[in-house]
Structure 1
Amino acid sequence: MSQAARESGTSKPTLSRWIAKGKVSAERQQDGSYLIDPSELDRIKDMMKNGNGSGNPNMKQSETQQETSALRREVELLRERLDDKDGVINDLRRRLDDETEERRAAQTKLTALLTDQRATAPQKATEGRLARAWSILRGKA
Structure 2
Amino acid sequence: MRYTLGTAAKATGKAKSTILRTIRSGTITAIKTGSGSYEIEPSELHRVFPSTVAQTMPSHDTQPAEEHHATLRLQLEILERERLRERDQMQATIDDLRGRPDRAEERATGLLAAPQKRRSWWPW
TM-score tier (shorter): 0.3 to 0.5
Which structure has the higher relative contact order (CA within 8 Å, separation 6+)?
2
Bigger helix share: 1
TM normalised by structure 2 equals 0.40
